[in-house]
Structure formats: C-alpha cells, structure tokens
Structure 1
Amino acid sequence: MRGDKDVTLGAGGATTRGGGPGATCATPGAAHPRVPRRIATVIVNSLKGGVVPRIGLPYITVGREPEINALLRDLAIVADGGASFRFVVGRYGSGKSFLLQTIRNHAMGKNFVVADADLSPERRLQGGRGQGLATYRELIGNLSTRTRPEGGALTLILDRWISGVQSEVAAAGTLPDDPRFVDEVRRRIFVVVDQLHEMVHGFDFAKVLAAYFDAQLAGDDDTKANVVRWFRGEYRTKAEARADLGVSVTIGDDDWYDYIKLLACFLRKAGYEGLVVLVDELVNLYKIPNAISRQYNYEKILTMYNDTLQGRASHLGVIMSGTPQCVEDRRRGLYSYEALRSRLTQGRLGREGRVDLMAPVIRLTPLAPEELLVLVEKLADIHAGLFGYERRLGEDDLARFLEVELSRVGAETLVTPREVIRDFIEMLDIMCQDADATVEGLLGSGALRTLANPDERDVAGPGAAAGYAEFTI
C-alpha cells in the first residue's frame, strides 16, 4: 500500500481491507472510492484539529440526509427566483459547520455562487466600528464557484459575465470582427444593468458594472481593479470613489446587506442560479457584552429574515448556524429579541418529539451509533491508506471503541461527533506509531473513562443525548 497515490475506502458499512481480528471481506463487485492522498491529508489533519475540511467531505459524510434534503429544497426555491432563510442549531461539535460545508459543496455543484463567513468579535452583522462591513468583506473575499471553490471568485464572475455576453452575440451571428459587435455587446450589457436600477442602490451598482465593462474593452486594468475594490467595500470615502469611478456611494456598515441582494440578482443575470450566504458562529453575537449592540445585530437578522420570507429578496439563500444557547437564551440569545423569538420558536406539535424540517430552525439531533460506526470505519480506511499500512481494526474493534466512547462519564451531555472523531484519530495515530499497541490495551487504560474537557458544557435542548446512552451491535 505504501507509495500508492490514492486511498481505498471500504464500501458499505462494515467492510475492511485489513487482516486484523474481526475483519470481513468487501462485498464482491462493490465500488471502492479512491481518496487522493492530498485530500486524505486534509481530512485527517482537519478532523484531528477539530475543524471541518473544506475538501473531501463526500468521502466522510454520514447521516444528515433529512437535513441535507431540506436545505437542497431551499436551493431549488432560490433557483426558481425565491429566497430562503434557515438557522442550523446544534451543540459544539455536533456537525453544524460540517452540514454548512456540505451544502456549500452541493450549491457550487448546482451552479450557485456561495459566500461564507464566520462571525467573530471583529465581524458582526452590525457595528459602530466597521464590524458589519468586515463581515461583508469576508463574504465577498470568500465568493466561490464550481470552478473557483477556494474563494476569491469575484473577478472571475465579472469576466465570465462579459465573456458570456460576447459569446451570445457571436452565436447570434455578429462576429468579433464585425464593426457592430462591440455595440451589440454593450447593448446587452446595459439591458442587464438597467434591470438593477429599481433596487435600492441599484443605480450606482449598475454604474460600477458598466465601468468594468468599459474598462475591459479599453484594456484599463486600473479601473477594473478599482471596480473590484469598490465591490469589496474597500473605499473609505465617497470622494475617493467619485474620483475613481464616478459614483458617490460606498458600501458601509449600515447598507452592506442591500448590496448582497443586488449581487444575488446580478449573479442570476450573469448565468448563475443565485447566491447562497453561509454565516457560522452566531455565538459571537451572543457574546457581545453590550445589550444595545446585541439588539442591533438581532435587528439586522430580523431584516434579512423578513426580506427573504416576504419576497423582498430573490435568488438569495441565507443559512446561519449557532448553538442552542445563543438562539434560545431569553436573556442574551436571539430569543431575547421578541420579534425573532415569536418567529423562530417551535410550535407545540414540534415539541412532542416530531421533527419539522420545513421550519426556519433546523435542530441537529445526534448521529445514531450505527452512523458513527460507518464514520469511524471510513476514517480508519483513510488513515491506513494515508500512512501506508494495512488496517488492523475490524468491525468488532470499531464497535468496542464506540461502546467505550459512548458509555464514559458525561457522554449523555458532552459526547459529540467531534469528540468521537478526535479520540478515534488519536488512537489510530498511536497504533500507527506503536506496533504493539492494541485497541483493548488503549481502551482499557482508562483514558476514555472521563471527558477531556468537562468544562466545555453546552446548553442542549430536550433529547439532545438520544442515541448516546447505549451502543450495541
């Protein structure tokens, strides 16, 4: 196996390539996905560090089918010209960021443009010192498409738009060497631009787009760079923007969301399905010490929520994620803002153990033990392939690991997929480096009998520990 360029995954839920105790043969004829070594390295290093890998998610995705399908239905609504807004709520390490990254990949594959940002003390939705604008800049900097999944796709989008219009003109019979070609391209460009005039700030937005097209024709790279700078919200003063681009507005803390709506409409006209905005770490709004500042941020969420659900935005999908505490705490969380609480709180029927995945809030339930078994098996295959050894863990070993992991003190409230994955990869690392290490030896050492960070307790909703009390095969 050493020296291979790819890592082989066992197909199904209980197949292995190793010859250790309890190993079983793969199903005859089953397909074995190949994991490139570069992706396998990112997966292992990211998961061990407690973060979600940006690539390779399909190789380790387990469960969450109902949640994913619900969010995919939202993408269909956005593609049809509507808008959507969802909250994904779950404890630390429960898979919120993983779900967001999974939807990010799905959206790019369906020809959406995706913008994502993590909130922080410096990045909020509203702020008196540029925190809202900082979030906008992060979103624009992370614009991603199918052909530019790593972000930074703004220039690519603008160039693709102009190139697409030129191709349409040529396909209609007016070739580039025809004197009418430039005029026809310009006419079609301004048809798109004129359709944005009726929106808030649409006139200036359209004027900047036209300036980019003129600069493209003239080969004026400085003006193109200034247009990109304006879209990124990097102009500090209106005078500076007026001197460079002839527009008297700049994107700021108070109005950045209006430009997100404009961008979503433009992207549709530029050949994309729409714009999906992913905002993670809502807990940083919960942590704002000043109550008035928190309320301003919650008011911005309410504005975005109302816009999308009342039809004042189009081709725009917004997904925000946070912990149950930062949403449901009536003293500091979203529920402290009555207008949001009345919109987001569960109805009485939803509290009877039923799950409504069409509601604005999607609450993540724990992965079932069977799903965790499939997950650790995939990770065992990836780890063995990455480091070039025959997998030593069979199904019985994996089941034994999960049995100990999910029965330790505090598991009912603290064990999450992140905790399980971290411990499992650590065990694989030790066994990879020590040929004499065994599963029973490591599990019997008592290291997994208590949680490593008992102070990292999070507020969980009713039933959050369901499925963790017992593990049997």
Structure 2
Amino acid sequence: MDGSTTRVPRRIAAVIINSLKGGVVPRIGLPYVTVGREREIQALLHDLDLVADGGASFRFLVGRYGSGKSFLLQTIRTHAMGRGFVVADADLSPERRLQGGQGQGLATYRELVRNLSTKTRPEGGALSLVLDRWVAALREEADPEGALARQLEPVRELVCGFDFSRVLELYWHASLEGDDDRRAGVVRWLRGEFRTKTEARSELGVNACITDDTWYEYLKLFAQFLVGAGYQGLIVLVDELVNLYKIPNATSRQYNYEKILTMYNDTLQGKARHLGIIMGGTPQSIEDRRRGVFSYEALRSRLTQGRFAGAGLSDMLAPVIHLEPLTYEELLVLIEKLAEIHAGYFGYERTVTEAQLVSFLKIEFGRVGADTHLTPREVIRDFIELLDIACQNPGAGVDELLRSDAFSGAVTSPVAATAEGDVDAAYAEFTI
C-alpha cells in the first residue's frame, strides 16, 4: 500500500473521526472510509435498479453489534441519494416501533419523514425541498393543471390516495397563491403531526390524518408521488430491530412482526412500487424462535435459509443477508485510511508506518476470543484512541504505546506468562 488517499475536507474529517470514535456511523463522508462489503453492496445496488424500474424490494441485514450493519445501511443511503432516490431512515427504540397502541408506529413514521434526505439535502429535513421542487417543475409545464392531474391519478388509486392527493393539491394551490400558512399546514400533515381528523379538517379541510394503522400506506403513497416529482423512488432504512425483540409483551411483538410481514408481502408481490425497504438487526433479534422475527411463523417460513446455502456459499439474492466479518486485509486498508484522515484533520504529517499498522492488528486479533467476538467497531475505536494519544503526547511513540501493558497486556496468555519452574508442584499434576 502506498498510503495515498483523497484529501478529506476538515468538516467531513471531523465528523468521521468523532463519530467512529464514539461508536456511531457518520452520516456524511462514508466513501472515504468504506472498505470491503463489495458483494453486499452490489446486491443492494441491484435492488435499487429494481426499484427505479418500478418494482419494490425488501431486505434484512443481519450482523452482531459493531459488525457494520449500520455502516452498510448508511453506505447504501449514500449510493441511493447519488442515484436520485429519496431516502428515509430511522432507528427503532422503545418509543418508535412498527406498530403500537400509544403512537409508537406513528413516531417511527415521523422520524422517517424528519430524516427524509436527497442528494442536495443529505443531512435530512428534505420534505419541503421535495415539495418545492415538485411545484417548480409543474410551473414549467405548458399545462400545469393537466400535469398535476396526470401525476396524481396513480396516487389516487392507492389506499388512502384520495386524501394524500388532496393534500398535495392544497400545497400546489397554496404555492401559487403565496399562502405560507396553508403550505406549512400541509407539511405538518405530511409529517404526521395532526393527531385527530377534526384537527386536520379544521385547518386543511381534509377528513383524514396519518395514524398508527395507516402510516405504512402513506410511505407507499410517498414512493409513488416522488416518481412524479422527478425522483427514482423511496428507500426506507430501519435499524435496531432488536428493540422489537425486547418488547416484553408477546402480543405486541406479534403485531410488530405482522407489520413486517405486510411490508414484506407488499414489496415482493408487486403491491408496492418504487419502494425499497432495508431493515437491520442482530442474529438474535431475527433468528430467535421465542422472541425474534422467526417467532412469527409466517415470517420464519419465508426467511429461513435454504438447503443449499452455507458451507462457505452465500446467497446475496436472498431476503436475509448475513454480514461476514471484515478480513484482516480489509481492516488494514481501513485503519490506513483513518490514519491519513486523522493526520489531515489535526494538521500533522502521518508518522504511523505500515509495520506499526500490522502490529496493531496483530495485537487486536491476538486477544482471547478475537476470532469470534472482535468487531470493526472495537478495532476502529482502539485505533483512533491510539492516534489521539500519540498526537497529544509527542514523547510517546506508537511502538511504545503498542508495547504498553494497557494495550498489549490483555493478550498475554496466563499460562505462557508463567515460567515452567514457577508452577507449584501441588498443582502440576492431579487426578480427579
């Protein structure tokens, strides 16, 4: 490796370094640190092509904590925005589920819409931008009203489509009339902020509002509308499925899994168009037959791996993609990129050599249980901490830090560290 890398802007470098050290995935700058996962990325990019052609897709990304699920989701998010999709992403939590009796499903919808992102607004909050772009495109038509009717016709044919198209018409006319209050009301309605039909009727004259039971239908409507607005479709990313696994009430869990089944069936049976859904979870949250997704028999029978996969063979076209650990070589490339970004951000000449990078990884992989439990998150966190300490303490060399007990001491085998002559004779050999 020659150690060369593209110069990273300081603002993006700061986000990358601070996010990764804190154990979270940066929302910008991912191409600078993406390594490996070529097969997974290609499979998901194939799904984007399908969605752009008018189809729909549904995938699960399965991996342990820190294995790179969220990183891969954000990578696909970046690719999707670059290809002209609108992306909505949300992490599930105790307050945000797919279904709930206290507004948890609607809370997830609100989070998705709040994080609505496009290529020109990658940080989220792109709903108003999308609507204004749609209005601007309509104004350029020779017959704007006719174009409006043609665009909304396929929307009206879907469930809840009449009210959705009515709200869009209100936004169009409010834009023509310069009625900012009405436009703001429409945005609030689309964000799911109206709690009752009465409230929606009094402010907008619409006899419906987005609820726990209907929010997914409105995602399908959004996908159809976005195509008419000039985008390729809608990609929905949902992470932290483990929060469904943690729901204590079995009936509530089943309702949430039933919502997943509805989404899965809609996308694969062609009932949804221009919509891609990707969900991320741990193996336990998916495969546990007592509390996980597989506890819902209808989903288990659809998602269980077939007879031919396994034994080193993986099916990247299956609905469930299991993330394999990054290889030693891929991690070496990754930490080299991080070393370059760190040096560029803090304004010093990189001094960490390739031999030191190799030594760092040897120590990391030498830890007890590293073969099965070491994750990229832990490697990245340790490496950035090493760079931070070396940068702040010029007198402490990298080799010295790597040899310190605080870092390398954890890999010392107690048996190997004990000289043969130091073993008490009473414990050298015994019989049970």
CA contact (8 A) 2:7 2:344 kept: no
User: 1:114, 1:293 → 2: CA distance?
Assistant: 28
8 Å contact 2:287–2:294 — kept in the other structure? yes
Residue 213 of structure 2 corresponds to 254
Greater percentage in helix: 2
Question: 1:352 aligns to what?
Answer: 311
TM-score normalised over the length of structure 2:
0.93
Q: Name the aligned partner's letter for residue 271 of structure 1.
A: G
- Tell whether the 8 Å contact from 1:123 to 1:131 is kept in structure 2 after alignment: yes
1:64 paired residue number = 37
Structure 2 Cα separation of the partners of residues 197 and 335 of structure 1: 35
Distance 2:192 2:11 in 1: 35
- Residue 439 of structure 1 and its aligned partner are, at CA, apart by 2.8
- The correspondence for 1:115, drawn from 68, 88, 99, is 88
Separation of aligned partners in 2, 1:356 and 1:394 = 38
Counterpart of 1:117 in 2: which secondary structure? Answer: strand
Which residue of the other structure, out of 298, 303, 306, is the alignment partner of 2:257? 298
Distance in 2 between the 1:167 and 1:105 partners?
29
Q: Which residue in 1 is equivalent to 2:58?
A: 85
SS of aligned partner of 1:435: coil
SS in 1 for 2:139: helix
> Which of structure 1's runs of 4+ aligned residues deviate more than 3 A?
448-452
Counterpart of 1:372? 331
Displacement of 1:413: 2.4
Contact 1:123 1:132 (C-alpha < 8 Å) held by counterparts: yes
Distance in 2 between residues matched to 1:281 and 1:405, nearest whole Å: 27
TM-score, length-scaled by structure 1: 0.85
1:191 aligns with 2:150: yes
Do structure 1's residue 242 and structure 2's residue 229 form an aligned pair? no
**Aligned counterpart, 2:425:** none
Structure 1 residue 384: deviation in Å?
A: 1.1
For residues 237 and 53 of structure 1, the distance between their equivalents in structure 2, rounded to whole angstroms, comes to 37
Aligned counterparts of 1:195 and 1:333: Cα–Cα separation in 2: 37
Amino acid across the alignment from 1:143: L
* 1:344-400, Cα deviation, whole Å (9 max, x unpaired): 111111122201100001110001100100001011111111112221111111000
The alpha-carbon deviation at position 451 of structure 1 amounts to 7.2
The equivalent residue for 1:400 is 359
Q: Distance in 2 between matches of 1:377 and 1:188?
A: 53
How much is the aligned-residue C-alpha RMSD, in angstroms? 1.3
Structure 1: which 5+ residue stretches go unaligned? 1-13, 17-25, 27-31, 170-183, 453-473
Could you tell me whether the CA contact under 8 Å between 1:237 and 1:250 is conserved in 2? yes
Residues 1:138 and 2:111 aligned together: yes
SS at match of 2:8: strand
> Aligned pair 1:448/2:407, yes or no?
yes
Instruction: Give me the whole-angstrom Cα distance separating, in 2, the residues matched to 1:213 and 1:435.
Output: 61
Work out whether residues 401 and 439 of structure 1, in 8 Å CA contact, stay in contact via their aligned partners in 2: no
Shift of 1:192: 1.3
Is 1:340 the counterpart of 2:327? The answer is no
**CA 1:450–1:250 in structure 2 vs 1: closer, same or farther (change >3 Å)?**
farther
Cα contact 1:265–1:315 (8 A) shared by 2:
yes
SS of the residue 2:200 aligns to: helix
Q: Letter of the aligned partner of 2:146 in structure 1?
A: R
Give the Cα–Cα distance (whole angstroms) in 1 for the partners of residues 208 and 201 of structure 2.
8
1:412 aligned counterpart, secondary structure:
helix
Native 8 Å contact 2:198 2:207 kept in 1: yes
Q: CA deviation at 1:450?
A: 7.5
Q: Distance in 1 between matches of 2:217 and 2:409?
A: 49
Unaligned runs of 5+ in 2: 412-432
Q: How many residues align?
A: 411
**Structure 1 CA distance for aligned equivalents of residues 410 and 169 of structure 2:** 59
Q: Deviation at 1:440?
A: 2.9
The CA deviation string for residues 212-232 of structure 1, in whole angstroms up to 9 with x for no partner, is: 111111111111111111101
> Which residue of structure 1 aligns with residue 73 of structure 2?
100
CA deviation after TM superposition for structure 1 residue 315, in Å: 0.1
Q: Secondary structure at the match of 2:237?
A: strand
SS at match of 1:305: helix
1:285 matched residue in structure 2: 244
- Counterpart contact for 1:265–1:314, Cα < 8 Å: yes
Provide the C-alpha distance between the structure 2 equivalents of 1:297 and 1:168, rounded to a whole number of angstroms.
43
Distance of 2:371 and 2:247 partners within structure 1: 30
What amino acid maps onto 2:25 in structure 1?
V
Equivalent residues in 2 for 1:364-443, closer than 5 Å? 364-443=323-402
> Matches of residues 210-249 of structure 1 in structure 2 within 5 Å?
210-249=169-208
